[in-house]
Amino acid sequence: MKSWIMRRRTDTLHVDDYALVDIDPPAAPGPGEVRLRTLFISLDPYLSRFMKIWEGEHPGWEQGHVYGRTVAEVTESRADGLAVGDKVLAVARWQPENVVPASSAMRIDPEIDPPSLVLGVLGASGRTAWIGLDLAHPKAGETLLVSAASGPVGSVVGQLAKRRGLRAIGIAGGAEKCAYVESLGFDVCLDHRLPDLAGRLAAAAPKGVDILFENIGQTSLDPALSVINEKGRIMLCGLAQHYNDEVPMQLDHFKALLYKQVTLQGFRTADFVDRYEEATAELMAGVREGWLRYDEQITDGLEHAAEAYLAMLGGQGIGKRLIRLP
């Protein structure tokens, strides 16, 4: 059986930092454990830090094993509550089979079809969008700016904001991504690859920006600070531009945080478990009723996981990036 590992600790990830190696299949599950067949692997930016330092949410990172969120099917169970054939969400190694404690595998509602949606719009990505926007206390008539607006978080933020009566401006890289963002109902999307983003932001938001939902970093944050309103709110959700290097960030408009009394709040979705039920209920209703749209970009084959991961980290693709196993 094949499994992905890290070859070395590093400051910047390259494809040769990963290795797909042969290992023995997992041993038979013990009491309270289940054997899982991996169906989908989620390609998540936050994993890049674990990949570089070999520390993460599972102790196996210390040996260089690569773990991530997966959707899998139970093929053998020695635990109450999970039966053969159940689909589950679990943090597991990037490999075809895993044996995990049943307590760490969350059964997926059979009504969720396809089950991969729990890795995106009906999972962490969707909840992050919902919770981050809620923490910003949005008001109808305000202007929201979202970076990485074609991604699995940013795309949901904008659609939720429109639902709440806000003007939604997206930032994305390239004409194709911007066309996709505008098709979701954003009022406008600006291509950060074109010159003078600050000037184009000023034209797109003549009354300024009240809420910035930041997913990228300097490329979008600095121009946004030039148009942020008095007592504006910045929700710092991610820094995708900076995950793969340690170069200091330079902000020419940093003083706006002081002069305009701007609130900048980083947040971790896991700290708001008490809001999950409410968030998931609205997200599921949006998908069911058709007003919340999503996109999955699926790469087939475990062997392509490292290359696809680095492409995602570099900004390629639209929507949620997944690896699908046969």
Whether 168 shows a pLDDT value over 90: the answer reads yes
Per-residue pLDDT, 245: 78
Helices vs strands, H then E, count in the chain = 9, 15
Same domain, 201 and 238: yes
The CATH number assigned to the domain holding 309 equals: 3.90.180.10
| Residue in this structure with the two tokens 């169906």, named with its chain if needed | 39
Whether 79 shows a pLDDT value over 90: the answer reads yes
Residue 208 structure tokens:
């300024």
Per-residue pLDDT tens over the stretch 90-117: 999 999 999 999 999 999 999 999 999 9
Structural domain of residue 60, as residue ranges? 2-120+295-324
By CB atoms closer than 10 A (0-12, 13-18, 19+), residue 118 is buried
Examine residue 289 and state whether it is found in any structural domain, yes or no: no
Per-residue pLDDT tens over the stretch 226-255: 999 999 999 999 998 888 777 888 999 999
Exposure string (b/e) for 132-160, b if CB count within 10 Å is 16 or more? bbbebebeeebbbbbbbbbbbbbbbbbbb
Same domain, 137 and 173: yes
Whether 72 shows a pLDDT value over 90: the answer reads yes
Same domain, 109 and 144: no
Per-residue pLDDT, 110: 95
Give the pTM: 0.91
What is the total count of domains within the chain? 2
